[in-house]
Chain A
Amino acid sequence: MLKTSTTDVVPEKKVEANSDRKFKLTAKDKYYASIFVGPSLFLLGLFVFYPMFRTLYISLFLTNSFGNTTLFVGLDNYVKLISSPDFVASMWVTVVYVVGVTFFTIAMGLLLANLASQKLPGIAIFRTLYSVTMGVSVSVAAIFWLFIFNPSAGFFTLLTKMLHLPTVNWLTSPTNAMWAIIITTVWMHLGFVFLVFLGAIESVPTTLYEAADVEGVSSRYQFFHITLPMISPTLFFVSTITIIGSFKSFGLIDLITKGGPTNATNMLVYRIYNDAFFGGNYAKSSAEAIILAIIIAFFTYLQFKFLEKKVNY
């Protein structure tokens, strides 16, 4: 049995003294704990936990146009969603988008970071250029890319005309619109991902490469068998945040395609927004939000379960 003293405020001592690791907090401990944890708990509760549970609650009801609950329907909203081809299509579109964005962001980021980590004169210019998209806001990026995709005066159109190729309708064909959104998102993410990868690559000890050089290991083999494994924790971190981030993409879609054409880029987040604020169907969009949260949680769980052990050496 642990002896508790009211004067001792250093919790470590109590932990040490207690061999069977049972905590018993004194009033004073609780007071200190609440001081440390309280503020963030309050803020999280107000802005994260309350909205979360409120959304969950609303998703089990029917709502009126003010968003107030009217009739309890249980899981009806969910059943309706899952059996609606529209919603399932939206889920697929989102998955395609997330996979595309994550793959190309990581591939491009790695490529650029590997290039920029070479010791060459003037390399600092490229490092700055590659990371510059970090400072671009979504709205600026959207306008910028709208000009590029513009079918009559855009950069791509000029390029194809110059090369006498058929003009590509970037934003009016469903497949191309998806590509346009993926390209734009990758471009937006790239600056940050590039910088993180660059930092990781630079922190690999040079003696590892020198040892490999002396042993006659080709630089390609070095990249795949030294650089990649050494930066795998970073790779894991980047892929996790990129997946979560692209599931939540909203701004670019709203500004470039508005979910169109024919719902080809109508991702879950955009659908949630539309259903709630234009359709006025708060119950439906709450259920969609919960489903999205579950999907993201599921992917994150998968990643941690299967990758985390492999990347920590």
Chain B
Amino acid sequence: MSTVLTNVCKQYDQGKTVLGKVSAEIKTGEFFVIVGPSGCGKSTLLRMIAGLTDITDGEISIDNRVVNNLSPKDRNLTMVFQSYALFPFLSVWDNVAFGLKARKHSQVEVEERVNNALKMVNLEDLKDRKPRELSGGQRQRVALARAVASDAKICLMDEPLSNLDAQLRIKMRQEIYALQRKLGITLIYVTHDQVEAMTMADHIMVLHNTEVQQIGTPAEIYKTPANEFVASFFGVPPINILPATKLSSKSLKVNGDFEVKVDQVITENELKVGIRPNELRVAKADELTANATVKNIEFLGDEKILYATFNNGNEVSAIISSETHFDLFDTIKITSTNNVLLFSQDGINITKGVGDVVNA
């Protein structure tokens, strides 16, 4: 009982490859998030699973049944669209009932399912409203109710929260997560927002440049990213990638400035170091010892984000306590803890222990 993608490809007529050899196994009942920057083909992949877009090569199977040539309705799944795809001329209740009625379910069953679904998303009081009389979040809930009312075991969602404002997005994120857990359905969720991916997913698939960069749990993706792209895609502000040279077998000189000891034997002379902003230490320094200048400071409440430029031009961001005070153009000394990621020159993560996780 799982959805398996095997070497799924999509090419358009002009030979442009949108997706090349995507493979993954999505287990039944899990929250699977496909994430990537815009244009990476994640929506195309979702539409191919739904059957709305043909696949050029490869195989998609659901519960051991190859569905490549099945029409969407025979795949027993449901889909929530970015635009919600609500029928403007139907009331909330009728919108949710639309598919059930069309498939000639009995009146009693339709009523029961629709009422249950509306209850589940707290829309019972608004069932007679038309979509135009609803707020963005409420429309989103109608779309969810429609997915709930269908008895499909797989639900696909294509950027369902991107039309909502930031606060509502957080609220709906929790509601979708709770709903998925309650119903026990398999949820395949597409987003470009790494926060959504991290907060909701059981497993994340990172897509970039038509290829799968990594599949893993949020913790794996964050702590042991497969490569430089994955590392910099997750985390706010993004990880600092700095050039480094080998000093001794277990220590590095980062950015030509400061030394970092690592718990592994370094084999390459030139490499890149990834340091999360919260692993950087910042102190005031006079012009002789300083290695950077403060460029901008953002106050976030408990902490501040400090943006600085190293003397050799590299830019860096650090998270500092909001008690610490710096002014613009202050000269500072930046150092780092030893908790860093190492990348080869071409961006592969070579930190000790990573290979085991990524290839598992």
Q: Spell out A's residues near B (CB within 8 Å).
A: 205, 207-208, 210-218, 221, 225-226, 229-230, 232, 313
Contact = CB atoms under 8 A, between A and B. Distances in A.
B99 A230 contact: no
B102 A212 contact: yes
B144 interface: no
B77 interface: yes
B73 interface: yes
A225 B98 contact: yes
A207 B72 CA distance: 13
In terms of DSSP, what is the predominant structure of the interface of chain A?
A: helix
Contacts of A229: 87, 89-90
A77 to B, nearest CB: 47
Contacts of A212: 98-99, 102
Contact of B52 (A210, A217, A221, A313): A210
A230 B89 contact: yes
Nearest to A217: B102
B276 to A, nearest CB: 39
B21 to A, nearest CB: 26
A117 to B, nearest CB: 18
Contacts of A218: 102
A35 B78 CA distance: 59
Given A207-B83, A225-B98, A214 B89 contact: no
A212 to B, nearest CB: 7
4 tightest A-B contacts by CB? A215-B99, A216-B73, A313-B89, A211-B85
Contacts of A232: 89
B222 interface: no
A213 B52 contact: yes
Given A313-B88, A313-B130, A214 B72 contact: yes
B87 A217 contact: no
Interface string B52-64: 1000000000000
A217 B99 CA distance: 6
Contact of A210 (B85, B87, B88, B90): B85
A45 B87 CA distance: 45
Contacts of B88: 230, 313
B73 to A, nearest CB: 3
